[in-house]
Structure 1
Amino acid sequence: MVVSKVFIDTFGCTFNQADSQIMAGNLVENDFEIVNSIDDADVAIINTCYVKQPTENKVTNRIQKLKDQFPELKVIVSGCMVEIDPKKLNKIAPDTSWIGPHQLNKTTNVVKATLNGEISRECGFSKDTKVGIPKIRFDELIHIIQICEGCLGACSYCCTRFARGTLNSYSISEIKKEAKGALLDGCVEIQLTAQDTAAFGKDTNEKLSNLIKEVSGLVNDPEINNDFRIRVGMMHPNNIGDDLDSLIEAFKHPNVYKFIHIPIQSGSDSVLVDMRRGHTVKEYIKIVNRFKNEIPNLTIATDIIVGYPTEKEEDFKKTAEILRELKPGLIHLSKYRHREGAPSSVLDEIPHEVMKKRSKYLTDIKSEITEYENKELVGSIQKVLVVEKGSKGGFIAKTDSYVPVVIEDVEIGKFVDVKIYEATSTYLKGVKL
């Protein structure tokens, strides 16, 4: 029997990576082979991200380039673009099959039809679970679990919610079962991911804090004989409030990375109202300070949108002040761009030169903060988990605060003690003790 080979090219977030692993699992169960090179493939699935304009450009360029360079290759498009912008997708690739992000269980059907010369398009929403189903792990030591899909938000700049839909949480018992299976397979890191992990359970009367406690408690399971860490994905501040105390206690568990990703997007209350974020700057600061006071070694990650259409100079200055006050250890900056279907897209964008200037100003602040925070760790002894090989040599490990450390002569998947001897704005350098 001739086995068809499939290459999956993934853009975007951790959740999208997990979607690709589900598609791979569906295909392998049906006797397809997943390959690591486009040159070896009969079919290529482009799993798209559409959250930002630069990513959209990369995705559309990739689709067009593949069709031009590999005319015999069968190309299938999956991911958020399928639901958000089918009109553009149909324009750049009119003869291409599609797999919507809620139709992953039909991946094999779409691939088979495409190989037979048909155009197969599986789109639309469903409440099918993404937990406890076959997946092909692309990193044998890190396991991603999607704890819920969709969100409760109405952010004016966002188009992702049009692809992911309303909140659909999966059960704690099933998530814990999948996590245990991954740990028994030798995984050392469990990543709990969602569009908004803080929204988890608000449709099922379960809580994120309880989920974290249940998964971290697996360290006491007699069948689990390897240490591990849990990374919790992005939390919208608007959904944390009623679970704040329990969440802080959950994050104190030694097996949970002391790392929280809480986007603020702007330091101006008036802009936050225009963005439809549903929280104030004061409410955000209260949450972050509670976490920092209870967990001193915590790394805070946040997101900032530079140049929202209603952002005035005084609004921008407030954002800069908030960053200097909170000193997040990780800051994701994005220049505002209109997104397909997003309510803010009817507004006039601010001049490009103004946006570029503001972005540069915040980038400088970001570098100052992160370099200062990292230099504070020079000379310290850190227990780190080695997670991958470095692209420029050595190995990449993560501290308990999820700060990357470059080290030599270690084994992937192991915990080691290192002494930090150098710091940059993005990573540390350490030597194994």
Structure 2
Amino acid sequence: MDEGMMTQAERQMGFGAGTGQDRGKGLYYIHTLGCQMNVHDSERIAGVLEANGYRPASQEQAQAADVDLMVLNTCAVRENASKRMYGTIGKWARVKRLNPQAQIAVGGCMAQKDRERITRKAPWVDAVFGTKNIGRLPELLEEARERGRSQVAISDQLETFPSALPAVRASRTSSWVSISVGCNNTCTFCIVPAVRGRERDRPLADVLNEIRACVAGGAKEVTLLGQNVNSYGYSMGDRYAFPKLLRACGQVEGLERVRFTSPHPAAFTDEVIAAMAQTPNVMHQLHMPLQSGSDRILRAMRRSYRKARFLSVLNKVRQAMPDAQITTDIIVGFPGESEEDFQETLDLVRQARFSSAFIFEYSPRPGTPAAAMEQVDKAVVQDRFERLLAVQEAITQEELDAFVGRQVEVMIANQPGRHDGDTHRVTGRERGGLLVHVGVPQGQRQPAIGELVTCTVTGAGKHYLTADPNLQAGEVYALQG
């Protein structure tokens, strides 16, 4: 799943609400590694903790290590995930030495995978909980305090959907909504099925009820989450459930934008494309993992499509939605990849013209079939990574440059954005998901978070657009509603 479109606020929870006056059961801080599914899990972790009397630490308290509970929600998809996990809990061990009453918990995919290794290698960790055991975290912390040793809860079977747990949303106006958990695919490079289990789908009515609750709470945008989001309903015997859900989202009053991630090319049907194109609040944004442009490598990866199928889907999407912004994931240096295979990937990338691509050097994950295959030399992998990145970055910039002079609709997310303090801009995303820094013309009202602004794009940076409209020159700045 796509990690590249998350903000720092979405990765870290516990910042902003703590006052230092009411610590409750203790002040907590959550650090999240990984994809949107992990970020949403962290919202559930925060909800469970606050329902049990914990309070979020402020940014100042977290930076000063004035916290009582540190939670690391981990990822297991790539090799550096393990290094990042142990590096983080190693730093937290120093905090605990200064404050022995502080507790450390590790959850998520690495906890599910390496439960025994974590407690052996980092005995100062108080609680280790799996992807299916978020609700047990407060209980584990109490038991660790009483017994003076690490407590572990890892279930291999899903008993209740995480959506049944309370949540503290990272954003007031944009919400993640999980529609399924787990994965039925057997990609040889991927550890997800081992740590998330087989795919389970939520009932459509349950999903819609959560979406309506999010909107009632102030959300104007939802992102539907699943490991293979467009195969939603297959486990319930309804292969049309996902397009039905998209169309049903179009009937939710007050819901301005709907996105979803990540779909699988093999399950991207004509019905899904039609639902996207015909439902006004479903955004024309698509993150479609390619992984490789070589059919030989796709077979070795056990990906259930070939490049002709992939390109066919992209062509159909663009015929139905010419403005679609399509991004992808690509792995370079997969075991056995030859220069010819890599050239096929380069050719497909030039043909597909992705808006952007998240390119990863293959790293073996213990327990996956690909880890036992013959590996490509690291220097070769690095060279291919740099060559592919250069091609994609040039395409990305060309696509961004083409926006200059166009009008875009931006939903404001930050006020101001991270780089906007000196320019007095506000930041949001246009309908295709591109980041836009918007300058407010003199005499015009500054939009609030969640408001929609139609504006003229005046510049293109690296991976973002700027809109500093000159109203006297006929450029547009208009608040909607």
How would you bin the TM-score normalised by the shorter chain? Answer: over 0.9
Structure 2 counterpart of 1:228, which letter? E
Rounded to whole Å, the distance in 2 between the matches of 1:154 and 1:319 is 22
Q: Which residue in 2 is equivalent to 1:121?
A: 152
1:107 corresponding residue in structure 2: 137
User: In the TM superposition, what are the counterparts of 1:304-323 in structure 2 within 5 Å?
Assistant: 304-323=330-349
* Aligned amino acid, residue 419 of structure 1: T
Which letter does structure 1 place at the counterpart of 2:179?
I
Partners of 1:152 and 1:199 within 8 A in 2: no
Distance 1:3 1:168, change over 3 A: same
Instruction: Please give the alpha-carbon distance, in whole angstroms, between the structure 1 residues aligned to 2:58 and 2:223.
Output: 23
Q: What amino acid does structure 1 have at the position aligned with 2:180?
A: C
Letter paired with 2:144: T
Would you say the 8 A contact 1:252–1:258 is kept in 2? Answer: no
Q: Is the 8 A contact 2:223 2:260 kept in 1?
A: yes
CA offsets 1:232-256 (integer angstroms, 9 cap, x no match): 111111222xx43244323442211
TM-score (norm 2): 0.85
Tell me, yes or no, if structure 1 residue 302 matches structure 2 residue 328. yes
Pairwise CA RMSD: 1.7
Other structure's SS at 2:345 match: helix
* Residue 208 (structure 1) aligned to one of 234, 239, 242: 242
Q: Distance in 1 between matches of 2:274 and 2:164?
A: 28
Partner-residue secondary structure (3-state), 1:137 = coil
Q: Aligned partners of 1:416, 1:228: CA distance in 2, in Å?
A: 13
CA distance in 2, matches of 1:55, 1:133: 26
Within a 5 Å distance, the mapping from 1:94-243 to structure 2 comes to: 94-96=123-125, 97-116=127-146, 117-125=148-156, 126-206=158-238, 207-219=241-253, 224=254, 228-240=256-268, 243=269
Map 1:32-431; keep pairs closer than 5 Å: 32-37=54-59, 38=62, 39-71=65-97, 72=100, 73-96=102-125, 97-116=127-146, 117-125=148-156, 126-206=158-238, 207-219=241-253, 224=254, 228-240=256-268, 243-388=269-414, 389-393=416-420, 394-409=425-440, 410-431=447-468
CA distance in 1, matches of 2:248, 2:162: 19
Alpha-carbon distance between aligned partners in 1 of 2:24 and 2:159, rounded to the nearest angstrom: 35
Partners of 2:452 and 2:145 in 1: CA distance: 45
Do the aligned partners of 1:52 and 1:339 also contact (CA within 8 Å) in 2?
yes
C-alpha displacement of 1:342: 0.9
Deviation at 1:40, TM superposition (A): 2.9
Instruction: Quote the offset at 1:386 in angstroms.
Output: 1.0
> Aligned letter for 2:251?
G
- Tell me the amino acid that sits aligned with residue 371 of structure 1: Q
Q: Is the 8 A contact 1:145 1:175 kept in 2?
A: yes
Gap runs ≥5 in structure 1: none
Answer whether contact 1:43 1:111 (CA < 8 A) is retained: no
User: Which amino acid is 1:77 matched to?
Assistant: V
* Secondary structure of 2:236's aligned partner: coil
1:84 Cα deviation from its structure 2 partner: 1.7
**Cα distance in 1 between the residues matched to 2:145 and 2:30:** 15
SS of match in other structure, 1:217? coil
Say whether the 8 Å CA contact 2:93–2:124 is kept in structure 1: no
Do the aligned partners of residues 337 and 122 (structure 1) sit closer, same or farther apart at CA in structure 2, a change above 3 Å counting?
same
**How many angstroms does 1:377 deviate by?**
0.9
Q: 1:194: Cα distance to partner?
A: 1.4
Partners of 2:367 and 2:209 in 1: CA distance: 38
Any idea what the Cα deviations from partners look like across 1:46-98, whole Å, max 9, x if unmatched? 10111111233212211111113432231111000012223432342134221
The structural deviation recorded for 1:387 is: 1.6
Label 1:36 to 1:209 Cα distance change in 2 as closer, same or farther (>3 A): farther
- SS state at 2:456 partner: strand
TM-score by length of structure 1 reads: 0.94
Secondary structure of the residue aligned to 1:60 is helix
Determine if the alignment matches structure 1 residue 21 to structure 2 residue 27: no
Distance across 2 between alignment mates of 1:156 and 1:68 = 38
Which has the higher mean CA deviation after the structures are superposed, 79-88 or 153-162?
79-88
Secondary structure, aligned partner of 1:278: coil
Q: Contact 1:98–1:122 at 8 Å: present in 2 too?
A: yes
How far 1:271 moved relative to its partner?
0.2
Identity of aligned residues (%): 24
8 Å CA contact 1:6–1:45 kept in 2: the answer is: yes
Deviation (angstroms), 1:118: 4.0
Structure 1 CA distance for aligned equivalents of residues 107 and 244 of structure 2: 33
| Contact 1:368–1:425 (Cα < 8 Å) also in 2 | no
